[in-house]
Amino acid sequence: MEAIHLPSTATPEEVAATLREHGYAIVDNLVPESLMDRIEAEMGPYVNASLYGDDGFVGKLTKRTGAMIARSPAARELIMNPTAIGAAGDFLKHATTFQLHLTQIISVFPGSKAQPIHRDQVAWDFFPFPPDYEVQCNLLWAMTDYTEEMGATRLVPGSHRLPDKDYSIEDSIPAVMKRGSALFYTGKIYHGAGENKSDRLRQAINITYAVGWVRQEENQYLTTPIEIARTLPEDLLKVMGYQMGCFAMGYVGDFEDPMTVLHPPAERKVLNTEIMAKKAGYVGDAKKLLVDSTTA
């Protein structure tokens, strides 16, 4: 079985629809190789300095290198890629907001064994999210070409709709793609890094987004120093979590917007939970929960 590929001209809505139906989508040549060259140059010293994993899940011949917003201006472009952000926003539109969950270069060195097949949503303490509640939208951007021999990520197509089960490599197919292409996949689809049987390094950039009310896997506030955060554009800051995650999550100080920590407004303003709750579509329940300020 061949993996599903979409052209780089696919709309975010098309990508999200493919994700809903198949649990994944590969978008070919979504960014030029020159962007990957820049990320490679900016992140190279950090990849070299990273340690190998300490267990079979993260991979004993696999390195994970994060803090990409702080370390790589080019990575910021990848995170805000319109197709990636658009598809994540559409796929997670049942939530009030979505946010960046983690940034990580995964370097699978020759000889690295296959990773156990898993669902990424287990990261939240194995909480059994309802079958129809998608909590994250994940991307693996190919930083090198991605062949089966090199350990291309393996996927169990359609498994996002099935109950929990132990899958083996034989149940999976490789997501073969070219450098600059992106594999989008849901938090529910079973997948894992393949074994690298070649003599070449397999590298991918794992950028994942999650609904706004959950804890982020990579702590964005501590990972990006505040002096760097102050220089970043507002749309990127919001995705990092410098905004309310939903009507009650993420306020600072005296119930104020988190952005005020970076850019204090001329006039201070307390957040309005009612507006946020209505944005979330809680028409009936929100009325019971929150006193309507127009009638109170």
Ligand X SMILES: O=C(O)CCC(=O)C(=O)O
- By CB under 6 A, name the binding residues for ligand X: 106, 108, 115, 120, 140, 153, 191-193, 204
Least separation in angstroms between CB 216 and Fe ion: 16
Closest by CA to 206, choosing from 197, 225, 193, 194, is 193
* Site residue total, Fe ion (CB under 5 A): 1
What gap in Å lies between CA 264 and CA 168, rounded to an integer? 52
Nearer to Fe ion, 167 or 282 (CB): 167
Nearer to ligand X, 16 or 108 (CB): 108
193 binds, among ligand X, Fe ion, none (CB under 5 to 8 A by kind): ligand X
Give residue 64's identity as a one-letter amino acid code: R
Least separation in angstroms between CB 103 and Fe ion: 15
- Of 38-46, 47-55, 115-123, 125-133: span binding Fe ion (CB under 5 A): 115-123
Among 120, 195, 217, 257, binds Fe ion (CB under 5 A): 120
Sign of CA dihedral 221, 225, 230, 234: negative
Nearer to Fe ion, 120 or 217 (CB): 120
Which strands sit side by side in the sheet containing 62-65, from one edge to the other? Answer: 5-6, 24-27, 182-186, 136-142, 202-211, 98-108, 62-65
Give strand pairing partners of 139.
184, 207
Least separation in angstroms between CB 158 and ligand X: 17
6 binds, among ligand X, Fe ion, none (CB under 5 to 8 A by kind): none
Nearer to ligand X, 158 or 264 (CB): 158
- Of 4-12, 118-126, 160-168, 172-180: span binding Fe ion (CB under 5 A): 118-126
Least separation in angstroms between CB 210 and Fe ion: 13
What gap in Å lies between CA 295 and CA 289, rounded to an integer? 14
What gap in Å lies between CA 155 and CA 174, rounded to an integer? 6
Least separation in angstroms between CB 275 and ligand X: 36
Residue 54: count other Cβ atoms within 10 Å of its Cβ: 9
DSSP H helix total and E strand total for the chain: 11, 10
Q: Return residues touching Fe ion (CB under 5 A).
A: 120
